């Protein structure tokens, strides 16, 4: 029963909600700090449109930021992985820049781009760029040597090699990069929205704190977690679909 | 040496990496007539694979000269195709796409590619597997795909680098027989690298025996027996015994 055993993944969450309800019933904290699960559930109804609008704003920023990062990092990574000269040129810079947490760039982003979508998208772009770039490069480097020999013996053009060999060989690693990029982008967007933007889930949570609507803070956190889970699962499924050829390969090598 | 579809004149190869240079091959001169089946036989590390890679244009000789079809080699020739021991199939391509790759690299139009691939797939008994991925095939099937791919471009010489080395004895026997019938029907020259005495005696018109460190051409043995050859026959055993003596006490059988 594979479907039933998947549902086991819900058990920790159910246990957490039960513990939460217990804490509320025992009145460990005043209800204004720790609202009951039922009250939070109710806030989904009451604040539904607000939550939806803010979640939409956050998701859109991540989609744009990660999309731009993908468009830059994947072609760049394929070339850097393919040509050692480009690798020597860029290696130190990549290692240096990727060590800078995107959050630490919020002040600069606000100075340059003000308050709004632009600084948030720039920060998401930067947090998604490095995992995508590094994983793409890694994927290209891992290609089986014989495959490149086959291409060379067939006198394949460089364009054909990049498109039909290097790119598909790197795809599994690119998907790993995409998962990390979306995860990183999602963390960044919530943080950025607490400081540099006037919409989105991060802004909504901060606003709820200032107006003392604790249940909305909880609702926001739950939505953030749920969207993160859905995004990760979607990428994971897409990867299994696109890289079907690899699943068998992995099983075989065990 | 003059005349001969493939010729090597004083070919040597020295690897200069870190540490002292290693001489892999020394003073190889040979000629291979069109339509001939020649085995390069030697123990591992004797440089026979290196020689084949150089004839395939994948490596440069340090000294000497290689010609294919009268042309001094400068990179892979369009007159040859190579088959690798680890088959070199693209795991993300179906059998059909793999078989069509060499033609795609040569910009053969899709319709012609398809027709030629169908012919070669039929010749190698793969018609039922056109839509399969390499990981779904057995080792013997994969090597058939490699051979089919190599044949698509009408090569005048097939260069085979221990193509059956990783297969079990029974599959190997089947493929050897199939290769001989393909060779007879396609009238191509075959240059076949192996470390198996039995394989060489079963297949070759002529066997070139290599000795290691540095790789040198030690002897040339004509195999003047009608095909199909019976490994249990006294003539077969006599030729094999002679070769075993030339290869030295380490033997060279399985």
Could you report the per-residue pLDDT of B157-187, keeping only the tens digit for each?
Answer: 999 999 999 899 999 999 999 999 999 998 8
Count up the domains in chain B and report the number: 1
Please indicate, yes or no, if residue A69 is contained in any of the structural domains: yes
Residue A87 in 3-state DSSP?
helix
Res. A247 pLDDT band, cuts 50 70 90: low
Residue B93 lies in a domain: no
A157: closest chain B residue by CA: B105
- pLDDT value, residue B253: 43
Please state, in angstroms and as integers, the Cα–Cα distance from residue B164 to each residue in A63, A132, B142, B170, following that order.
50, 40, 11, 11
What is the per-residue pLDDT for B235? 94
Asked if residue B54 has pLDDT above 50, the reply is: yes
* CA–CA separation, B117 and B138 (whole Å): 20
Domain tally for chain A? 1
Contacts of B84 in chain A (CB under 8 A): 146, 149-150
Residues 6 or more apart whose CB falls under 8 angstroms from that of B231 comprise B198, B201, B202
Report residue A4: phi and psi, to 5°.
-65, -40
Nearest Cα of chain A lies from the Cα of B218 at a distance, in angstroms, of 29
Domain that holds residue B221: 6-79+155-247
Contacts of B75 in chain A (CB under 8 A): 155
Pairing of strands B37-41, B22-32: unpaired
- Looking at B25-108, list the stretches that DSSP marks H as alpha helix, in order from N- to C-terminal side: 48-55, 95-105
CATH number, residue B29: 3.40.50.300
The residue with tokens 């200032």 is A210
B82 contacts A146? CB cut-off 8 A = no
- Residue B198 covered by a domain: yes
Predicted local confidence at residue A252, as pLDDT: 53
- Residue B161 token pair: 């680098």
Read off the pLDDT band of B2 (50, 70, 90).
Answer: very low
Domain assignment present for residue A12? The answer is no
**Residue A1 resides in a domain:** no
Domain interval for residue A159: 59-253
Report CB contact under 8 Å: B56, A244.
no
ipTM of predicted assembly, 2 dp: 0.91
Q: How close B35 gets to chain A, by Cα (Å)?
A: 21
Q: Which residues of A160-190 are buried (b: 16+ CB within 10 A; e: fewer)?
A: bbbebbbbbbbbbbbbbbbbbbbbbbbbbbb
Tell me whether residue A229 is in a domain: yes
Residues in chain B with CB shorter than 8 Å from the CB of A163 are: none
A110 within a domain of the structure (yes/no) = yes
Q: What is the CATH number of the domain that holds A105?
A: 1.10.3720.10
Residues of A in contact with B95 (CB under 8 A): none
Which residue on chain B is closest to A149 by alpha carbon?
B58
Q: Tell me if B19 is assigned to some domain.
A: yes
Kindly report, residue by residue over B99-136, the tens digit of the pLDDT.
999 999 999 999 999 999 999 999 999 999 999 999 99
Q: Are the C-beta atoms of B57 and B82 separated by less than 8 Å?
A: no
Of B78, B92, B93, the CB nearest to A155: B78
Asked which of A51-60, A135-144, A237-246, B188-197 is least confident by mean pLDDT, the reply is A237-246
In a domain, A156, yes or no: yes
Could you tell me how many helices (H) and strands (E) chain B has, helices first?
Answer: 7, 10
Instruction: Round the average pLDDT of chain A to a whole number and report it.
Output: 91
């Amino acid at each position: 029963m594979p479907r039933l055993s998947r549902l086991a993944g819900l058990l920790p969450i159910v246990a957490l909600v039960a513990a939460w309800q217990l804490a509320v019933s025992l009145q460990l904290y005043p209800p204004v700090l720790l609202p009951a699960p039922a009250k939070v559930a109710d806030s989904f109804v009451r604040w539904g449109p607000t939550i939806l609008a803010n979640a939409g704003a956050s998701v859109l920023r991540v989609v744009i930021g990660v999309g731009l990062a993908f468009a830059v990092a994947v072609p760049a990574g394929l070339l850097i992985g393919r040509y050692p000269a480009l690798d020597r040129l860029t290696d130190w810079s990549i290692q240096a820049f990727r060590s800078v947490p995107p959050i630490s760039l919020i002040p600069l982003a606000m100075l340059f781009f003000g308050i709004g979508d632009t600084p948030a998208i720039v920060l998401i772009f930067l947090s998604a760029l490095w995992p995508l770039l590094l994983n793409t490069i890694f994927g290209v480097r891992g290609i089986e040597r014989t495959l490149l020999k086959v291409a060379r013996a067939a006198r394949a053009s460089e364009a054909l090699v990049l498109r039909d060999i290097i790119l598909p060989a790197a795809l599994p690693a690119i998907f790993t990069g995409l998962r990390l990029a979306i995860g990183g982008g999602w963390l960044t967007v919530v943080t950025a929205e607490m400081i540099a933007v006037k919409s989105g889930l991060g802004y909504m949570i901060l606003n709820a704190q200032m107006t003392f609507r604790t249940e909305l803070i909880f609702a926001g956190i739950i939505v953030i977690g749920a969207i993160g889970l859905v995004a990760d699962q979607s990428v994971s499924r897409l990867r299994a679909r696109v890289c079907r050829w690899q699943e068998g390969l992995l099983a075989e090598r065990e | 040496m003059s005349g001969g579809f493939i010729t090597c004149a004083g070919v040597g190869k020295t690897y200069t990496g870190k540490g002292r240079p290693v001489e892999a091959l020394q003073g190889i001169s040979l000629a291979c007539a069109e339509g001939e089946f020649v085995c390069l036989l030697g123990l591992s590390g004797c440089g026979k694979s290196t020689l084949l890679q150089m004839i395939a244009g994948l490596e440069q000789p340090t000294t000497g000269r290689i010609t294919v079809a009268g042309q001094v080699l400068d990179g892979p020739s369009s007159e040859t195709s190579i088959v690798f021991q680890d088959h070199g199939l693209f795991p993300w391509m179906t059998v059909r796409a793999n078989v069509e790759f060499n033609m795609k690299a040569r910009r053969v139009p899709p319709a012609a590619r398809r027709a030629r691939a169908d012919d070669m797939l039929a010749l190698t008994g793969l018609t039922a597997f056109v839509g399969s991925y390499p990981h779904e095939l057995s080792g013997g099937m994969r090597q058939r795909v490699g051979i089919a791919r190599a044949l698509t471009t009408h090569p005048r010489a097939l260069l085979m680098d221990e193509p059956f080395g990783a297969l079990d004895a029974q599959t190997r026997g089947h493929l050897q027989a199939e290769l001989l019938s393909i060779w007879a029907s396609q009238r191509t020259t075959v240059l076949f690298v192996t470390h198996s005495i039995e394989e060489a005696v079963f297949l070759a018109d002529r066997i070139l025996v290599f000795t290691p460190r540095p790789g040198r051409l030690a002897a040339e043995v004509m195999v003047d027996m009608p095909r199909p050859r019976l490994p249990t026959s006294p003539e077969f055993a006599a030729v094999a015994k002679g070769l075993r003596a030339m290869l030295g006490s380490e033997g060279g059988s399985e």
